[in-house]
Amino acid sequence: MKTKDRIIETALRLFNEEGEPNVTTNHIADEMDISPGNLYYHFRSKDDIIWQIFLNYEKKINQVLNQKDVNYTSMEDMWFYLHMVFEVIAEYRFLYRNLIQLMNRIEFLKRHFRHILALKSQTALDIMTNLSELGSLKTDKQTIASLADQIALTATFWLNYSIAIYDDDFDEEKKLSHGIFHVMRMVAPFLTDHDRDILDQLSTQYL
């Protein structure tokens, strides 16, 4: 494994564990047993490292959001889809933890992240609309739009909310499942009895 990739990997891990503002370039180098000078041979700045990590994140999340071949018609599909989204978010959670600050500091990141958020919102809307047309979702267009917004907001800040309200040693996996469960409960009231039953089953299975 190349040093450059190891830096990316180590930085991501430390950022997630300690929070990006608390991790210096020296920490990263220390953790890898290389010199700070070596680190700066591979990256021109700390923000450059963050930017490279972001590009990896962007690639992964776009893969998930652009799976146009899959039609989300069942509750299982929905659950699986949400799981994929939340998983990518969790893998790059340091971005979400200091979102506003990072966006202010790195102009490119701001633009790209906004684009991703818009895409998330749109994808949620597409899925909801699809479910509505299939008869699984019983409600008007305005409520569907509102739900899609709400889902995007929740996906974006669920981890922060979890950290804010729960004890710190709260299990990461459980936080994810809770987030998905939370989103599902937002949608549940508008489902047909049949689909809601399936959802309840899935819930007991995962919680």
Partner DNA sequence: GTCTATATAGGGATAGAC
Partner DNA sequence: GTCTATCCCTATATAGAC
- Site membership for DNA, residue 196 (CB under 7 A): no
Q: Which of 52, 123, 136, 156 binds a second copy (CB under 8 A)?
A: 156
Does position 1 bind DNA by CB under 7 A? no
CB 64 within 8 A of CB 88: yes
Residue 182 lies near a second copy (rule: CB under 8 A)? yes
Shortest Å distance, C-beta 44 to DNA: 6
Burial class (CB in 10 A: 0-12, 13-18, 19+), 140: exposed
Q: Which of 147, 129, 120, 150 is nearest to 72 (CA)?
A: 129
Closest CA to 95 of 125, 65, 118, 61: 61
Using the rule CB under 8 A, is 25 a contact of a second copy?
no
Interface positions, 17-76, toward DNA (CB under 7 A): 24-27, 33-38, 40-42, 44-47
Q: Which position among 2, 107, 142, 205 is part of the footprint of DNA (CB under 7 A)?
A: 2
3-state secondary structure of 136: coil
Exposed, middle or buried, 50 (CB in 10 Å: 0-12/13-18/19+)? Answer: buried
In the complex with DNA, which residue's Cβ is closer, 6 or 112? 6
Alpha-carbon distance of 3 to 42, in angstroms, equals: 8
Q: Judged by CB under 8 A, does residue 207 bind a second copy?
A: no
Indicate whether 13 belongs to the interface with DNA (CB under 7 A): no
Q: From the DSSP assignment, how many helices (H) and strands (E) are in the chain? A: 11, 0
What minimum distance in Å lies between the beta carbon of 133 and a second copy?
A: 19
Contact 39, 24 (CB under 8 A): no
H or E element in which residue 127 lies: helix 107-134
- Quick check: 143 binds a second copy (CB under 8 A)? yes
In the complex, least distance from residue 97 CB atom to a second copy, rounded to whole angstroms: 5
What is the binding site for DNA (CB under 7 A)?
A: 2-4, 24-27, 33-38, 40-42, 44-47
What is the binding site for a second copy (CB under 8 A)?
A: 19, 21-22, 97-101, 103-104, 113-114, 117-118, 139, 142-143, 146, 149-150, 153-154, 156-158, 160-161, 163-165, 182, 185-186, 188-190
